[in-house]
Structure 1
């Protein structure tokens, strides 16, 4: 990723700060969940989304072990590996508990912080403290504009 795409991603994500949390939504200033935030940033940078997400219940990850979020990220983003290799603008994927599917995503914004839509709150900037950092299971990079991450 060039520094320019990372800067564009962070700038776009910062524009969503304060958007209320709304399950399955993705409309800046109106409502979004964590996936909706990343979808909205994607639209701002690339235009159309590469695929429409299926409907999902708030507890979808607790009811099955299918790694739907990780699979989708792998189809459309470039794998970075660990959080230690992540740069500002990269997508962090979180798993709440062992044995459950990864369920939360956010965008690293530098300075040891990330931007995410947090249930019962809004899109916020949070410190990537050890309690959050331990939950990161993967990091992905937005592809270059005009580039392609995978088959998606």
Structure 2
């Protein structure tokens, strides 16, 4: 059985990934990851093996008209299988946040809330960074989830 995981443990694990270069579909701390790879890596760091392997996905997967495109909340559905939903406005450090770029598109970016006003995320063309959870990010927030069995 896994020892209890605290919110501080999650934030510390996420920050340990800071500086990891962006690499689409990767999840190797210090080598490369994308936003989902960051969350997957934090899961492995704290819980052990991942509960499922994500299917291959293109960088524009949530912008296509195919079965995994418009209207399909693929990322949110996967999160619901393994994480606990958090009510809008009740997000706390250690929670996983999902973002949508346009109101009519599904969520396609994720981050970990590190402080009430900061997030850790991986973004294309850069590296894992801790940035302000600004009004821009708050406007694009679509879902929030807590890791399982989190203690305060």
- Whether TM exceeds 0.5 here: the answer is yes
Deviates more, 1:107-116 or 1:19-28: 107-116
Give the conservation status (yes or no) of the 8 Å contact 2:10–2:42: yes
Per-residue deviation at 1:99? Answer: 1.4
Give the aligned partner of residue 122 of structure 1.
Answer: 127
CA deviations over 1:31-87 (Å, ceiling 9, x no partner): 0000000000000001000000000000000011211100001110000021x2011
CA deviations over 1:115-135 (Å, ceiling 9, x no partner): 000111100001011011100
Give the conservation status (yes or no) of the 8 Å contact 1:90–1:139: yes
Give the conservation status (yes or no) of the 8 Å contact 1:5–1:142: no
Give the aligned partner of residue 81 of structure 1.
Answer: 87
Q: Distance in 2 between matches of 1:5 and 1:48?
A: 18
Aligned residue runs from structure 1 range 42-61, under 5 A: 42-61=43-62
Give the aligned partner of residue 112 of structure 1.
Answer: 117
For these two proteins, the number of residue pairs brought into alignment is 142
Give the aligned partner of residue 6 of structure 2.
Answer: 5
**Does the residue aligned with 2:76 lie in a helix, a strand or coil?**
helix
Per-residue deviation at 1:144? Answer: 1.4
Query: 5+ unaligned residues in a row in structure 2: which ranges?
Result: none
State TM-score, norm by structure 2.
Answer: 0.90
State TM-score, norm by structure 1.
Answer: 0.90
Give the aligned partner of residue 69 of structure 1.
Answer: 75
Give the aligned partner of residue 32 of structure 2.
Answer: 31
